[in-house]
Amino acid sequence: LLLGLFPDQFPYLYQLAARVAGNVLSGGGL
């Protein structure tokens, strides 16, 4: 849904999600 509404922001959202996931996996939390 979000990708359809904001297709231009997908790269940014992907990078943000990847960064958050990396922090969580490394024990840094949000």
pLDDT in tens, the chain (30 residues): 555 666 676 788 888 889 989 988 888 766
Per-residue tokens: 29: 């939390």
User: String of b and e for 6-17 (b: at least 16 CB within 10 Å)?
Assistant: eeeeeeeeeeee
Q: Are 18 and 26 in contact (CB under 8 A)?
A: no
End-to-end CA distance of the chain: 24
pTM here? 0.51
The predicted pLDDT at position 3 comes to: 54
